[in-house]
Structure 1
Amino acid sequence: MRILIANDDGYLAPGLAALVQACEGLGQLDVVAPEQNASGTSNSLTLNRPLSAFTAPNGFRYLNGTPSDCVHVALTGWLSERPDLIVTGINQGANMGDDTLYSGTVAAAMEGFLFGIPAIAFSQVHKGWAHLDAAARVARSVIEQVLATPPAESPFLLNVNIPNLPDADLRPREVTRLGRRHVSEPVIRQTNPHGDPIYWIGPPGDAREGGEGTDFHATAQGRVSITPLQVDLTDHARLPQWRRWAEGRSGA
């Protein structure tokens, strides 16, 4: 068993160290992470400059690129053998609902999934690393279950969000769907020392679709949320309408 481990918070993040420790004994581990925090970079690949690779004193490899860069370079240039599983995280903060589209943690897992490798992204619901040890136990348990009883369809892509609770590993797990958020808050406008305006992206909106069955609802109830994801963004339900629209027969 070979497991590739990545994240988006950077190679020095406590969540990465916790996930590596959680995977110890499960097989050969390869670790690759961004040099700096790369949260919110989504599935971006660095195409406008070369990437440089380094090795930390603890043996972790890190790259001056995005989370997707890390997994892509590992799979296509570093590893002599294809990994059996890719795990990412443990992220500092939730990746639920619409946030998954921006998440570097989810993107790193998705990069492996695009190469046909099963992948799991792990996140804690709240920032601050509270009860990270319990989150690591959850990650270990989920990975062990996947290895012991592989899902019928593979590869798969799972998005796991873990409440920051001391007994998170004892809490129920719920297979969920993604919720939805309200639109983001306005940007925060400031002025730099030269008097020029600068802008910070505002906070995400509150959940607007967080009912039963969603990742928002499960974690609010203290449960571990496990959401199976797919890459196909096609609006299959409305394809017939759009075909009629293209033929000039009806609006979409």
Structure 2
Amino acid sequence: MAEHGGALEIRGLSARYGPVTALDAVDITASPGRITAVLGANGAGKTTLLRTISGLVKGADGSVLLGGRDLTGAPAETIARAGIAHVPEGRGVITELTVEENLRLGELLGTARRGSRNREHRLGTVYEMFPALAQRRRREANSLSGGERQMLVIGRALLSAPEVLLLDEPSLGLAPRIVAQLFALIRDLVDREGITVLLVEQNARSALSIADTGFVLNLGRVVAAADAASLAGDADLRHAYLGF
């Protein structure tokens, strides 16, 4: 469904809300075909990072590049068409539409990016990844559980044929068993499809269990960067910033 593209490079990115600095010269690279976790407590700047990458928040300084293409300051729709799909916190499905109608909305952007060829194949692949959605394809989205809604918004983003998937707190409000299932699906998605994932999570333990690399934010700054296993094994870092 996705193709290996270039790296997502965040260079010296800063963002402010009035006098408050939410991001302070952040440098992060999300390598192609890998899961990069961005971790930290509430208020660390994680959501602002994704919103600035996707063009929903205007950065004050720094740059955003995808495969060397400079997307800094571009409108959100231009960034989406370039291949960056943002799944925001809160599972924003359109509840009055059916599961399949929600998915078809993502498909519209995918068709614009890649053409209509293999459109039904892409939809079939999403149903293969998320069998619960296939079983409920004719039901209105308001009938879905929290975990199923999270699968739906991820599936809708995938149908836009992105190179990079930005996931903001996908585990929020879900039971531990559902979180484990969802994170396993995300890992399988990356392994099967070669998509690049930038995963923002407060649930650091679960995120590091599937991530390849990780960055820790604190008060808008990167305070640690390493492979996921090293971050998970650093007891002082975990206790100071990650809460486990």
| TM class, shorter-length | 0.3 to 0.5
Q: Choose between structure 1 and 2 for higher RCO, CA contacts under 8 A separated by at least 6 residues.
A: 2
TM-score (norm 2): 0.35
TM-score (norm 1): 0.34
More helix by share: 2
